[in-house]
Amino acid sequence: MSVFGIRRAALRLAKEAGFTRARNDARRYGARRWTPPSDGVWRRASPLAPYWWVRCGETALDSHEITDDEHDAFNVQYLFVHFERDSRTFHYTNDAVESEECAVCSTRTPIAGLTQVYRRTARRELISAPWCEACRDDGAFYCGEVAEYVHNDWAVIIQDTDDVVAAWWAEDNAYHHSDGYWYSEPEDDESDDESDDDESDDGAGLFAYGTNVLSKHPWPDNAPKDALLFGVELEVEGNENRRSEQRSIAEALGGSTGSGLQDGAYILAHDGSLNNGVEIITVPQTFEHHKAETVVPWKKISAAIRGIAKSGNTKTCGMHVHINRAALTPLQVGKMLVFLNSNATTRLVEQVAQRSGEQWAKRAPKSFADGLPARVREFGHYDALGYSSKGTMELRIFRGNTRHDRIMKNIEFTHAMCEFARLESMRDMEQPAKFLAFIGRRERTYPNLCKFLDAHVQDNATVATEE
């Protein structure tokens, strides 16, 4: 339906619902206002009230997603419309009010009042179910290490720190002593070689795939846990794809914890998708600290691997950026999903990412409502922007790179996308020109991204080919 068609439908439905125009009010206020029907009071004097009432039908008391045409027609910058249960008051909202049964007590509860509680099955698979607040407080706990609520049956106490954590986190990051309890440190009689369960014995000195960087480095003092933080995973391979090159790369980068290179706050790990490669995993940092290289020395990292490793000129290496989910609203996540997955922005995204293949970063059209917690969990490990159990959203679009300016370009794009989604309207998310203008006004903030876009955004090639 066209914009004018929707407007005419609103007026027609208003009349059919028994509304009449209050001409005195129209003269007084200079706008059309409508008197309420006899069986209820519209607290918002608006010709849209009867439109929404009829449009939502028998389920008007629950949320209904606002269509793109309705966004344009009514200039509404929200995801849903719903009516209150105590009156015929309609509200716009970004949070759905559909209800669902609590998995424990079966009480129907608004989705916003439910919490996903995790547990592990007999097959060691992580699953979750919605719990109401009362059941959650009685039978689950919040584990900060995995950033999720966990069933009490899967609680483990770390004896020397008194921390209560998920059992699966303890298995990967703590030590099960001979007394049957868990500790943060190995037993005294274990040798250094035996104490690090994550470390490989192949001579390369790399941690096992999946090792949490925060189990080897403390949480950075300069990174508030609710701030917009970015953790980077950069994959590289030796120039000859030889296993012996892993040790050379590790030595050049200061060892498995980066301690030999400006005491870098990162770890080096195996990754089965690489050909004898190394994955560099950083601690979370704010955008400003990544630029200042406060604890992650990007220039030194780039210089150390430029001559002995490759990343862009491979079919396997990528660069992933984890974004702290605690700093993002559901609407902001929804906007980011629409922006990254829209057909209108495909060319721009692929140019910035420097690759177009979807093997490692799948793209498919998304809606703004997909940013809601219940929906965003459906986007997994290989989506362009996916949900991660580490408490982050993982951006996987970038081709790997060893050039310092390209690494910083990718971090700048990630921050710019978050800010663009936070500050600009929903309709701007599918207009690449709006994003380019947004970046252009902030050239000092995003110098590497602006320089790259100036050189490549007009190219005929969809994807840049150089490292």
Higher pLDDT, 434 or 178: 434
Q: Name the average pLDDT for the chain.
A: 80
Residue 454 has which token pair? 């100036």
At 241-266, the pLDDT tens digits run 888 899 999 999 999 999 888 777 99
pLDDT-derived band at 42 (thresholds 50, 70, 90) equals: very low
Amino acid at 43: R
Provide the pairing of β-strand 80-83 with 155-158: unpaired
pLDDT at 72: 72
User: pTM for this one?
Assistant: 0.63
pLDDT band at 39 (very low <50, low <70, confident <90, very high): very low
424 or 359: which leads in pLDDT: 424
The region of weakest confidence among 61-65, 112-116, 216-220, 437-441 is: 61-65
Starting at the earlier edge strand, list the strands of the sheet with 64-65. Answer: 64-65, 80-83, 90-93
- What separation, in Å, do the N-terminal and C-terminal C-alpha atoms of the chain show? 47
| Structure tokens belonging to residue 328 | 């993002």
The 3-state secondary structure of the chain reads CCHHHHHHHHHHHHHHCCCEECHHHHHHHCCCCEECCCCCCCCCCCCHHHHHHHHHHHHCCCCEECCHHHHHHHCCCCCEEEECCCCCCEEEECCCCCEEECCCCCCEEEHHHCEEEEEECCCCCEEEEEECHHHHHHHEEEECCCCEEEEHHHEEEECCCCEEEEHHHHHHHCEECCCCCEECCCCCCCCHHHHCCCECCCCCCCECCCCCHHHCCCCCCCCCCCCCEEEEEEEEEECCCCCHHHHHHHHHCCCCCCCCCCCCCEEEECCCCCCCEEEEEECCEEHHHHHHCCCCCHHHHHHHHCCCEECCCCCCCEEEEEEEHHHCCHHHHHHHHHHHHCHHHHHHHHHHHCCCCCCCCECCCCCHHHHCHHHHCCCCCCECEEEECCCEEEEEEEECCCCHHHHHHHHHHHHHHHHHHHHCCHHHHHCHHHHHHHHHCCCCCCHHHHHHHHHHCCCCCCCCCCC
pLDDT value of position 25: 38
Domains and CATH numbers, the chain: 3-93 (no CATH), 108-195 (no CATH), 213-456 (3.30.590)
For 177-213, the pLDDT digits (tens) are 777 778 888 766 443 443 444 554 445 689 988 888 9
Q: Give the DSSP letter string of 298-337.
A: HHHHHHHHTTTEESTTSSS-EEEEEEEGGG--HHHHHHHH
Mean pLDDT of 405-434: 96
Residue 374 has pLDDT above 90, yes or no: no
pLDDT tens per residue across span 129-150? 999 888 998 899 999 888 899 9
CA–CA separation, 388 and 251 (whole Å): 30
Per the structure block, which two tokens stand in for 301? 């990292």
**Taking phi first (over 0 means left), then psi (-120 to 50 degrees means alpha), and beta for anything else, what does residue 37 get?**
beta
Instruction: Judge contact between 324 and 391, C-beta under 8 A.
Output: yes
Per-residue pLDDT, averaged over 338-365, amounts to 87
Q: Which two tokens stand for residue 186?
A: 């190995």
Q: What is the mean pLDDT of residues 262-280?
A: 88
